[in-house]
Amino acid sequence: MFLFSVEGGDGSGKGLATQVISEILEQEFCFTSVEKTAEPRRNHPLGRLAIDSVREKTTTPEQEAGLFAADRLDHSHGWILPKLLEGRAVVSERNIHSSLVYQGIVGGIGIGRVAQINSAALIPDLCIWVDCDPKIALGRIRSETLRGLSDKEEYFETSDFQIRIRQGYQDLLSGKVEMPTPFDMGAIIGPISNEGSQKDFRRLLKEVIRSFMNRRNSPINIRMEKVDQFQIKSIIQRSSSQSTLSGLGFSPPKNNSNWLRGNAPWKVLKSAQHDHKEMLSSLVNNKSDNLIEIPKNILNHSVSSVCGTLSLIQSAEISEIRSNMGPVRSVSERHTRRIIKFLRDFGWISQRKNLHGRDSPKSQLKSEYYSFGRLVLAIWPLRKAIRDWQRRNPETHLRFCMGQLEKSGLYESQLRESIERLSIIGSGSKDNSNPKDPGQLSQWWKGS
């Protein structure tokens, strides 16, 4: 879903940073997977042409920039973009900013010209700028270990060149030189110094990645909605092809084609909201100390994510729940545990110990809340709109909500996205087809 790039001069520590960033993303966040790559691509003909143009010095700076751009465009749309659409994170050692510095600033053809040549390339969501004194960097380049791993003889290694490269990055990434369109859309963090210990370097990188991810930024190159739809479709297809073992303490798979069980969608939501309100009232009456930790609205991100995710899978441990959330519905491990406890204590989910005694208990959404779990996935793009509508119209019946959202003309994209989701999840009734337009969605909502 996100494209991360790692930039800096030769020998600055980009390879280590790429590895550390990938590890942090894999360990702490809910991507389908984390993929590492680099530019130019040494194992691809286009990448080799770009590398050879630098080593052999047979091309002009503009021709050189064109070769790097050709490799980047093929890499962007043939390899990176499909992975972003599948909810993966991609960490690239070097990307567009390298060309802006190496050919645009140091090569002298101008960053505007380089941006023009690369205008169809993907834009890194976050550029992590790694900085290192050229003397230290050159020492690393010339060491046996680094030489063997990276084949750095393909690049200029004079101290003068490295000083110019470092200054180019400082000018471009610090804002002294204006970043050209469209690459000014991405975030830049740095410089991250790599002149101390590896421990300090790792700590700084961890802080950077956590800060970016916790801001819940929207990806630049793709729509989050398409990523979540892909994730949901993949889980449904995978689940439908799996056989279920009996006798393990869990009920058989739910009826996915009739998940509304004859109820109108608004009734499913109203019933779940009523049960949630009763829970809150009981806590207030009992003067519970845990009241502050209880979600005040079941359409908030965390409750919707956990219930929706559990409606897609039969039963799962915390780690399995989080991996099936994907990057769009992601909730931190600590918060997921808290929501699972809340749902268990108030009877929305059941838990069973795994056959292996030390494994974490598996959670399953109870049958009576399965409809709500599927429903919240279907109306995920409209959750905030529904909450706001209920707050503005406390005396109006919930069955009129969808029709009024449609007539307002303010939620065309969210209505369309819910229709797209229902084409994946199903209408919830074996007798009714999926809605095709907002008018049909309103009728579906009413149970007509």
User: Taking residues 23-33, what's their average pLDDT?
Assistant: 93
Range of the domain at 432: 225-238+255-446
The CATH number that applies at residue 44 is 3.40.50.300
User: 117, 128 in Cβ contact below 8 A?
Assistant: no
Q: What percent of the chain has pLDDT over 70?
A: 89
Per the domain annotation, does 247 fall within a domain? Answer: no
User: Taking residues 174-200, what's their average pLDDT?
Assistant: 92
403 and 439 together in one domain = yes
68 and 187 together in one domain = yes
pLDDT-derived band at 293, boundaries 50, 70, 90: low
Q: Return the higher-pLDDT residue of 97 and 9.
A: 97
Q: Name the residue with tokens 């505007």.
A: 112
User: CA dihedral defined by 36, 42, 46, 49, rounded to 10 degrees?
Assistant: 150
Per the domain annotation, does 64 fall within a domain? Answer: yes
pTM of the complete model: 0.85
pLDDT-derived band at 394, boundaries 50, 70, 90: very high
Residue 131 β-bridge partners: 193
206 and 230 together in one domain = no
Per the domain annotation, does 246 fall within a domain? Answer: no
182 and 230 together in one domain = no
User: Taking residues 192-208, what's their average pLDDT?
Assistant: 91
User: Taking residues 382-403, what's their average pLDDT?
Assistant: 96
Tokens of 13: 């520590």
pLDDT-derived band at 216, boundaries 50, 70, 90: confident
Q: Which of 164-173, 233-242, 420-429 has the lowest mean pLDDT?
A: 233-242
204 and 315 together in one domain = no
Per the domain annotation, does 243 fall within a domain? Answer: no
User: Taking residues 43-47, what's their average pLDDT?
Assistant: 95
The helices-and-strands tally (H runs, E runs) of the chain is 20, 7
Per the domain annotation, does 441 fall within a domain? Answer: yes
101 and 166 together in one domain = yes
Per the domain annotation, does 368 fall within a domain? Answer: yes
pLDDT over 90 (residue 21): yes
Backbone angles phi, psi at 34, to 5 degrees: -120, 125
321 and 360 together in one domain = yes
pLDDT over 90 (residue 260): yes
pLDDT-derived band at 359, boundaries 50, 70, 90: low
Q: Give the pLDDT confidence score for residue 241 in this predicted structure.
A: 65
Tokens of 321: 């729940």
417 and 339 together in one domain = yes
Q: Give the pLDDT confidence score for residue 147 in this predicted structure.
A: 43
Which residue blocks in 241-353 are alpha helix, DSSP H?
A: 265-285, 301-312, 318-325, 333-345
pLDDT-derived band at 9, boundaries 50, 70, 90: confident
Q: Return the higher-pLDDT residue of 355 and 236.
A: 236
Q: What percent of the chain has pLDDT over 90?
A: 69
- Give how many domains the chain has, as a whole number: 2
198 and 231 together in one domain = no
- CA 441 to CA 415: how far, in whole Å? 8
Q: Return the higher-pLDDT residue of 243 and 78.
A: 78
Per the domain annotation, does 249 fall within a domain? Answer: no
206 and 260 together in one domain = no
For residue 188, the SS3 value is strand
Rounded to the nearest integer, the mean pLDDT of the chain is 88
Amino acid at 407: K
359 and 210 together in one domain = no
User: Taking residues 191-200, what's their average pLDDT?
Assistant: 89
Please, what is the Cα angle at 219 between 420 and 112, to 5 degrees?
A: 130
- CA 141 to CA 282: how far, in whole Å? 66
pLDDT over 80 (residue 185): yes
pLDDT-derived band at 154, boundaries 50, 70, 90: very low
Q: Give the pLDDT confidence score for residue 431 in this predicted structure.
A: 80
- CA 418 to CA 374: how far, in whole Å? 12
**Distances from the Cα of 23 to the Cα of 178, 242, 267, angstroms:** 32, 30, 44
End-to-end CA distance of the chain: 37
Q: Give the pLDDT confidence score for residue 135 in this predicted structure.
A: 79
pLDDT-derived band at 288, boundaries 50, 70, 90: low
* Residue range 105-140, pLDDT digits in tens: 999 999 999 999 999 999 999 999 999 888 777 776
Per the domain annotation, does 364 fall within a domain? Answer: yes
**Distances from the Cα of 343 to the Cα of 56, 184, 189, 293, 340, angstroms:** 65, 43, 39, 12, 5
137 and 48 together in one domain = yes
Task: Characterize 194-228 residue by residue with b for buried, 16 or more Cβ atoms within 10 angstroms of its Cβ, and e for exposed.
Answer: beeeeeebbebbbebbeebbeeeeebbbbebbbbb
User: 428, 259 in Cβ contact below 8 A?
Assistant: yes
227 CB-side CA count, 13 A: 29
User: Taking residues 147-164, what's their average pLDDT?
Assistant: 59
